[in-house]
């Protein structure tokens, strides 16, 4: 009687511990990004940025600068992949080839296939398990098992058996169905992970491609400046030979030329590294990348308005956030399945077939056998192990919940940082464009003054160094702005329709 009471109390307590329905976690986010000012949050009809006082909030502080063009952001979400909006055929081809052939995508697709197969495998537990059996044995019983009075060894005999075993757990308390749903949710998480890999891959191809184009532009600037400086060296040598110049001017001109030439090998090494990186991202050996795939491209023109959506859209669309949420949902379902272990299991079992002492006697009258009926099991003396499984499931769900919160915070951090970085890169690019124009004009004036005898050659060299530095910085700034734009598109993952 006490045992029956204990059984009833345990079953009732387990029923009360049933897992509640899963509720997606609620995340509080701001209506707009903190680093986007009200002026920059709306769309602009101008093809370029407009000059206005810059006020950008970043890292909790306010930075006020001089008059400079800032990036314009829109709360709209793009309907097409960003690389097509940039209208660069070479970039589009590279990204589409990477999405098709990358080994990272292959690995993510394999993980998705595995997750879907695990879900199908768990779904079979909802139906009966039927197994065909057959055996042929030779037996000799021990004399100890012989009837009393029999003193001789029992003879050996052959025994043939054929039939099937069947069992079907009736999912009365939802343990199996929760497990199946959990594996289905893990498959959905794997699908979001695949999309996250595709987003990261496309962004990395674009970033490397723009770095390559930027390096090529820097190489072009360095070579052009080297040609101009060779002309200057030739001029100083001619003036020295005519008695109108000094050896000091000639040597200074040669020094400036050699410094410019010394930067070229570094840039060439960077170009080679970017080409090799692109080949790897496309799942190819560096030597197997067709050279025409990287021919004819330039750094993109920066868009007048960048569509970044809102923080709420970010949480609902970014694939790594969605994948983390599905992981949490799956772990909550596993908690429910673990708690269902407290409750009894009802299983229908059946065993049928034929048993005979001769193979040709199978299926004859009198050799058939059948056993069928329900089986009720309950871990009365194993509740400690069940509780341990529930504790493990709870801990894994807590970990998934913390990981989800971390993913959301990281997504917000990456987006806010990317927006500020692109905005400042956009402003720096405009300022350096004006600096190159002014320094080029100053260099021309210095050359004219020198040829007219109004100044010494040192001013010409200083002006040329200023032009070289400004043009190199402009090329680097354009590269930085382009890669920062890619970082923005990657951070706001909701604007990436991969399919």
pLDDT for 5 beyond 50: no
Angle (CA) 442 248 260, round 5°: 55
Q: What is the mean predicted confidence (pLDDT) over 451-474?
A: 80
- Whole-number pLDDT of residue 38: 52
pLDDT for 106 beyond 50: yes
- Of 224-228, 282-286, 457-461, the range with the highest mean pLDDT is 282-286
pLDDT for 413 beyond 50: yes
Lowest model confidence (mean pLDDT) among 31-45, 178-192, 410-424? 31-45
Nearest by Cα to 400 from 325, 489, 292, 317? 325
Q: What is the mean predicted confidence (pLDDT) over 268-296?
A: 89
pLDDT for 54 beyond 50: no
Structural domains of the chain in order of their starting residue, each with its CATH number: 2-125+174-341+380-495 (1.20.1600.10)
pLDDT for 183 beyond 90: yes
Residues 6+ apart with CB under 8 A from 287: none
Average pLDDT over the chain reads 82
Q: What is the mean predicted confidence (pLDDT) over 274-300?
A: 86
Q: Which residue has the higher pLDDT, 275 or 4?
A: 275
pLDDT for 63 beyond 50: no
pLDDT for 116 beyond 90: yes
Residues above pLDDT 90, as percent of the chain: 41
Q: Which residue has the higher pLDDT, 275 or 248?
A: 275
- Whole-number pLDDT of residue 71: 77
- Per residue in 331-384, pLDDT (tens digit) is 999 999 999 999 999 999 999 989 888 888 887 887 888 999 999 999 988 999
HEC secondary structure over the chain = CHHHHHHHHHHHHHHHCCCCCCCCCCCCCCCCCCCCCHHHHCCCCCCCCCEEEEEEEECCEEEEEEEEECCEEECCCCCCCHHHHCCCHHHHHHHHHHHHHCHHHHHHHHHHHHHHHHHHHHHHHHCCEEEEEEEEEEECCCHHHCCCCCCCCCCCEEEEEEEEEEEEEECCCCHHHHHHHHHHHHHHHHHHHHHHHHHHHHHHHHHHHHHHHHHHHHHHHHHHHHHHHHHHHHHHHHHHHCCCCCHHHHHHHHHHHHHHHHHHHHHHHHHHHHHHHHHHHCCCCHHHCCHHHHCCCCCCCCCCEEECCCHHHHHHHCHHHHHHHHHHHHHHHHHHHHHHHHCCEEEEEEEEEEEECCHHHCCCCCCEEEEEEEEEECCCCCHHHHHHHHHHHHHHHHHHHHHHHHHHHHHHHHHHHHHHHHHHHHHHHHHHHHHHHHHHHHHHHHHHHHHCCCCCHHHHHHHHHHHHHHHHHHHHHHHHHHHHHHHHHHHCHHHCCCC
pTM of the model: 0.80
Residue written as token pair 């768990």: 122
pLDDT for 82 beyond 70: yes
Q: What is the mean predicted confidence (pLDDT) over 18-22?
A: 64
pLDDT for 79 beyond 90: no
- Whole-number pLDDT of residue 60: 38
pLDDT for 142 beyond 90: no
Angle (CA) 447 449 451, round 5°: 70
pLDDT confidence band for 150 (50 / 70 / 90): low
């Amino acid at each position: 009687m006490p045992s029956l009471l204990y059984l009833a109390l345990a079953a009732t307590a387990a029923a009360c511990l049933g897992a509640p329905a899963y509720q997606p976690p609620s995340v509080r986010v701001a209506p707009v990004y903190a680093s986007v000012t009200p002026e920059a949050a709306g769309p602009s009809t101008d093809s370029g940025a407009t000059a206005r006082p810059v006020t950008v909030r970043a890292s909790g502080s306010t930075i006020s600068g001089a008059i400079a063009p800032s990036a314009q952001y829109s709360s709209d979400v793009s309907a097409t992949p960003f690389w097509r909006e940039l209208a660069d055929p070479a970039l589009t081809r590279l990204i589409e080839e990477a999405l098709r052939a990358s080994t990272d995508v292959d690995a993510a697709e394999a993980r998705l296939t595995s997750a879907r197969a695990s879900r199908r495998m768990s779904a079979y537990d909802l139906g009966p398990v039927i197994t065909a059996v057959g055996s042929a044995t030779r037996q000799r019983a021990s004399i100890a098992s012989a009837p009393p009075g029999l003193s001789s060894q029992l003879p050996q005999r052959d025994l043939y058996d054929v039939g099937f075993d069947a069992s079907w757990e009736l999912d009365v308390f939802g343990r199996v169905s929760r497990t199946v749903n959990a594996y289905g949710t893990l498959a959905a998480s794997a699908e979001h992970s695949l999309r996250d890999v595709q987003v990261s891959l496309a962004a990395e191809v674009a970033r490397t491609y723009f770095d390559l184009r930027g390096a090529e532009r820097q190489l072009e600037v360095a070579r052009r400046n080297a040609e101009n400086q060779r002309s200057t060296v030739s001029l100083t040598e001619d003036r020295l030979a005519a008695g109108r110049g000094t050896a000091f001017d000639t040597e200074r001109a040669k020094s400036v030329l050699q410094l410019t030439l010394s930067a070229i090998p570094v840039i060439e090494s960077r170009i080679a590294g970017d080409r090799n990186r692109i080949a790897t991202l496309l799942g190819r050996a560096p030597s197997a990348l067709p050279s025409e795939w990287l021919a004819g491209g330039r750094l993109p023109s920066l868009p007048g308005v960048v569509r970044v959506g809102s923080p709420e859209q970010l949480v609902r669309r970014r694939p790594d956030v969605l994948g983390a949420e599905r992981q949490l949902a799956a772990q909550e379902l596993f908690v429910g399945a673990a708690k269902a272990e407290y409750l009894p299991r009802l299983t229908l079992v059946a065993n049928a077939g034929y048993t005979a002492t001769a193979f040709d006697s199978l299926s004859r009258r009198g050799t058939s056998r059948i056993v069928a009926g329900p089986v009720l099991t309950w871990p009365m003396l194993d509740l400690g192990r069940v509780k341990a499984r529930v504790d493990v499931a709870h801990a894994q769900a807590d970990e998934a919940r913390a990981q989800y919160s971390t993913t959301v915070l990281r997504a917000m951090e990456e987006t806010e940082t990317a927006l500020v970085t692109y905005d400042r890169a956009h402003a720096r690019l405009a300022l350096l464009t004006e600096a190159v124009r002014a320094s080029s004009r100053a260099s021309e004036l210095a050359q004219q003054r020198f040829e007219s005898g109004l100044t010494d050659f040192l001013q010409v060299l200083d002006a040329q160094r200023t032009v070289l530095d400004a043009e190199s910085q402009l090329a680097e700034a354009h590269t930085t702005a382009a890669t920062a734009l890619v970082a923005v598109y990657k951070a706001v993952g909701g604007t990436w329709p991969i399919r």
